[in-house]
Structure 1
């Protein structure tokens, strides 16, 4: 994901978010009352790859400059790092690199970890409405798993626009961060907030969601809103860049500027288990 070290601004709790079984912020969209216009349920044989019609698998590390954060994982398209489990889930797993793999790294000669980064860029995007991802998120020192979105406007980041639906960093296993990044608010100046889970994110599935409506974005976990962003809360309201199509990304990063290095306590493999992804409202698939 793009660079950030710490969230610098925590906004007030949002009150206008649709959750599971609650009324949405904009009744005209009513995403919970509709059939998703796109969904990924991950039914398929164990070891199968996610559908290529919807998902891209990005690879590498060195040429991507450590994915902007000096990260230690080399993203692969191997089934060991991203595949279905045969029981309706997608597994995205960070693992120690195999002996002798010699995967080129930005911060050192070879990357000590492998992982996966899946995107829907060019295939599926949300214009307005709701995205829901039900997942179990890995926790541990040096890990930074993320569920997030990038804009399809063709502008270089941060003008591209980024919505981090869920990040769980390093040694904060019960804290879920939601953040927005744009032209004048990015990296450590990203605008966001957080909420606390009743137990570690790795212990149970939760539904991480964003409602993306005209001039309003609201974050929730399990239907409970915790953050709402509008143009008035930006450094400059004219820097609102979210009235566009945005695609989804799922990844498990290891090391880097925010979580720090993994250690002997870091789980290996560290797996994000995704039950489903659903887009409601307007977009394309």
Structure 2
């Protein structure tokens, strides 16, 4: 199906199904499969992602290196996040231009720029499926991520975090799925991983989580590879995922995980997102 026809069908279906609202029948599979929001990224090259759905977070030093002593300064520049004119959102991590004075947490100035987009306050998933078709960058010191944070107003990690996918530095074929909560966070986060047939930067894949009552299942290209339930926690009462959660897309550079970039690290290193689709129950 060509992109204009697919986009028309997706948007028509989204309108018919409604943009938000909570359903008492979320346990029924036919309800969980209903599309209620999508981002298809149609638009002219260089256009910024629409502000009605996306926020662009900026900075580094005031964010204390984004909690991981990272080296990128997030900008709202089109050079770091924009549509490509072919139906994709492109997030690019780049070496900072010569003479840039972008305040960094671990050093005077940040040597890289990148972008961090979120749907906080605009689009949330309560229960259902988050599905993102994307091509992720690989290379030493890179950490691209597609993930969700909770909207419960609690300070992290009690806020709850679901990492839909992360690809770490020099492990170009390994995709990590992780959940963080009150008693399981950072290196104690609970998750799994799977291996792609080729580097994550070579092909598009559909990265997804199915977020159902007391169960989260991660999959790639429709194949589940990890499921988390409260029973797998040391303290089952620390399950914090029965809430609205918003999306985040970003490329981090350097820091404790995945380590420092080097001369082989590509610049620009790009995350190309074909679409983001939410099914089930939420707000969009």
Same fold (TM over 0.5): yes
Paired residue secondary structure (1:63): helix
**2:71 is aligned with 1:63:** no
Q: 1:75–1:117: 8 Å Cα contact kept in structure 2?
A: yes
**2:260 is aligned with 1:261:** yes
Q: 1:29–1:129: 8 Å Cα contact kept in structure 2?
A: no
Q: 2:135–2:273: 8 Å Cα contact kept in structure 1?
A: yes
**2:168 is aligned with 1:164:** no
**2:250 is aligned with 1:243:** no
- Looking at structure 1, the residues matched to 30 and 63 of structure 2 have their Cα atoms a distance apart, in angstroms, of 39
Shift of 1:58: 0.0
Structure 2 unpaired stretches of 5+: 1-25
TM-score by length of 1: 0.90
Shift of 1:53: 0.2
**2:49 is aligned with 1:89:** no
Deviations along 1:170-189, one digit per CA (max 9) or x if unpaired, are: 00000000000000000000
Q: 2:169–2:258: 8 Å Cα contact kept in structure 1?
A: yes
Q: Which runs of 4+ in 1 moved over 2 A?
A: 29-34
Deviations along 1:147-188, one digit per CA (max 9) or x if unpaired, are: 000000000000000000000000000000000000000000
- Looking at structure 1, the residues matched to 280 and 265 of structure 2 have their Cα atoms a distance apart, in angstroms, of 39
- Looking at structure 2, the residues matched to 204 and 30 of structure 1 have their Cα atoms a distance apart, in angstroms, of 30
Paired residue secondary structure (2:63): coil
- Looking at structure 1, the residues matched to 241 and 276 of structure 2 have their Cα atoms a distance apart, in angstroms, of 20
Shift of 1:100: 1.1
- CA-based RMSD of the aligned residues comes to 1.0
- In structure 1, the residue matched to 2:49 is 50
**1:1-285 correspondence runs (5 A):** 28-30=28-30, 33-34=33-34, 36-285=35-284
Deviations along 1:107-148, one digit per CA (max 9) or x if unpaired, are: 000000000000000000000000000000000000000000
Q: Say if 1:223 and 1:96 are closer, same or farther in 2 by CA, change over 3 A.
A: same
Paired residue secondary structure (1:188): helix
Q: 1:29–1:281: 8 Å Cα contact kept in structure 2?
A: no
Structure 1 unpaired stretches of 5+: 1-25
Shift of 1:29: 3.5
Shift of 1:99: 1.0
Deviations along 1:215-273, one digit per CA (max 9) or x if unpaired, are: 00000000000000000001100000000000000000000111100001101000000
Higher relative contact order (CA 8 A, sep 6+): 1
Deviations along 1:41-93, one digit per CA (max 9) or x if unpaired, are: 00000000001000000000000000000000000000000000000000000
Structure with greater helix share of residues = 2
Q: 2:32–2:128: 8 Å Cα contact kept in structure 1?
A: no
